[in-house]
Amino acid sequence: MKELDSRLSFATISDLAKQIQRHELSPVDLTEQALERIQRLNSKFNVFVTQTADLAIRQAKQAEKEIMQGQYKGPLHGIPIVHKDLYYTKGIRTTAGSKILKDFIPDYDATVVAKLQEAGAVLLGKAQTHEFAAGMTTSSKYFGPCRNPWNLDRVPGGSSGGSAAAVAAGLAYLGTGSDTGGSIRIPAACCGVVGMKPTYGRVSRYGIIEMAWSLDHAGSLTRSVVDASLCLDIMSGFDPKDKATVDLPASGMRQYSNELKGVRIGLPMRHYYENLDSDVQAAMQEAIEKFRELGVEIVEVDIPSVTQMRGAAMNIMMGEMLAVHKHWLDTCPDDYGSDVRMFLESAGQVPLLDYLQAQRARQAFTDEFLNALSKVDVLLTPATPLTAPTADNYEDALRLTSFTAQTDLTGLPSLSMPCGFSSAGMPVNMQLIGRPFDEATVLGIGYVYELNTDWHTRHPNL
């Protein structure tokens, strides 16, 4: 293996792609460096359920051959990635972090997996998820706890904690994720990376193990907003195998100048700016001031029923997840981790009327968000009210979903991105929320903020 600059482990996809396209960087060398790093560091973080080193080398060699022959496919060609272990991968086990599926090997790829493979991405393996995506800690009864690269005593968030930890630790450049109550954006916040939850219907969920079908979203965890945009363009699109998907062109990223004059950002003060930990509050205030410096007009907006939305989302999630798991819960209940089993048994106590009323209220809740967004370009909130807690702090782990479940319920595009650090050195992320299928504006505004700050360039000292 050619010795590469160790800083490449924390490079962005967009930077690496330019070097690969110009034949200045070998996909094989880049992949071998990633595999060496995984070999050295995975025991500390427990990111991987399954490693696919041999496959990765074969794919890297194929990518390099194609590129050298002038068949460059685009920015993911030759880039090492990981998939959340909810994503079906043909011939590679897909466990959902559970003993129940410990030996399950799909015979087809999820749509997103197939799209990224077609784009030339190199698969390093399957990353940890909280069991069946039903938790915020990514601590598996069967596979053990995944740990936060910034502090091994803290959780990486959930449920896409393995993907977030892989990107934060410089083990991979993209991690796929799924988001039902915040499971992309929360790990992004806990690990200080970028998490993109697109609009409901933008990206196919076909071949991704369900948690709650009317709330599930597929998206990405990356090191920059540009990378999130590149990945979304590849992952998105109509899929006849997922009837919720829409036939719209990829969103791209709206181009602004280096300033944001004329942009209006709404602050939904009710709920989102209450009961914040002091470090999060300080980082958000600094982010708001940075936007003002960039020419943004900051406007306070109100979403009257926002405090009811998380409960409604939970009633829907519990009802749908129970339907998915009823057979296993009846036949092998002891194979679940205690927290997930308790969640499912509690779901059985939720009256059907509560589920139906929550579904009925969704449009009214969505209309409140859309009314707020009619006055501004995007909404700005903290991604979480606190930084990554320790695994034994159950109450704080539950608090992590305070600001994310609302846009799974309403289906609105939401971006979690770095905006600061706590006094203990843990990342803080903000959240940008946009109109339906207007990821371009969300990403464009996030990108200008990123250009004018350096939070996304910081990484754990490993």
Which pLDDT score is estimated for 273? Answer: 98
Residues 47 and 177 occupy one common structural domain: yes
Shared domain check, 280 and 199: no
Catalytic residue flag (residue 402): no
220 and 369 inside one domain: no
Confidence of residue 68 (pLDDT cuts 50, 70, 90): very high
Q: Is 108 exposed, middle or buried (0-12, 13-18, 19+ CB in 10 A)?
A: middle
The reply to whether 43 belongs to the active site is no
As a 3-state breakdown, the chain gives helix, strand, coil percent values, each rounded to 5, of 45, 15, 40
On whether residue 257 sits in a domain, the answer given is no
Residue 454 lies in a domain: no
CATH number at residue 54: 3.90.1300.10
Give the list of residues 6+ apart from residue 264 with CB closer than 8 angstroms, or none.
Answer: 296, 297, 298, 299, 375, 376, 377
Domain boundary among 191, 216, 235: 235
My answer on whether 159 and 202 are in the same domain is yes
Do 55 and 201 have their domain in common?
yes
> Does residue 50 belong to any structural domain of this protein?
yes
Q: Kindly state whether residues 163 and 94 are assigned to the same domain.
A: yes
Q: Which residues, including other chains, have CB under 8 Å from residue 39's CB and lie 6 or more apart?
A: none
> Is the distance from CB of 49 to CB of 162 less than 8 angstroms?
yes
DSSP string, 252-290: ------SS-TT-EEEEEHHHHTSS--HHHHHHHHHHHHH
At 146-173, the pLDDT tens digits run 999 999 999 999 999 999 999 999 999 9
Going by pLDDT thresholds of 50, 70 and 90, the confidence category of residue 1 is low
Question: Per the domain annotation, does 421 fall within a domain?
Answer: no
Query: Which DSSP letter does residue 386 get?
Result: S
| Residue 255 resides in a domain | no
Of the candidates 9, 98, 159, 160, the residue annotated as catalytic is 159
132: tokens are 């069946």
159 is catalytic: yes
Q: Which of 9, 26, 84, 178 is catalytic?
A: 84
Please report whether residue 172 resides in a domain: yes
Q: Please say which residue of 220, 235, 250 terminates a domain.
A: 235
* 209 plus 336 within the same structural domain: no
Distant-in-sequence, close-in-space partners of 80: CB < 8 Å, separation ≥ 6: 30, 31, 34, 56, 60, 121, 122, 123, 124, 172, 173
Give residue-wise pLDDT tens across range 412-450: 999 999 999 999 999 999 999 999 999 999 999 999 999
Q: Say yes or no: 20 and 167 in one domain.
A: yes
Q: Is 0.95 surpassed by the pTM of this model?
A: yes
**229 plus 270 within the same structural domain:** no
Q: Is residue 3's pLDDT more than 70?
A: no
Rounded Cα distance, 334 and 68, in Å: 53
Q: Is residue 364 part of a domain?
A: yes
| Mean pLDDT, range 34-54, rounded to an integer | 98
Domain contains 58: yes
Among 398, 413, 428, residue at a domain's last position: 413
Do 203 and 217 contact (CB within 8 A), yes or no? yes
pLDDT attached to residue 257: 80
The reply to whether 227 and 274 lie within a common domain is: no
| Number of domains into which the chain is organized | 2
Specify the DSSP class assigned to residue 151.
B
* Catalytic site residue from 183, 220, 416, 422: 183
- 39: tokens are 């070999």
List the domain range (segments joined by +) for residue 97: 6-235
Is the domain of 143 the same as that of 193?
yes
230 shares its domain with 272 = no
In the numeric block, which tokens belong to residue 384?
Answer: 């979480």
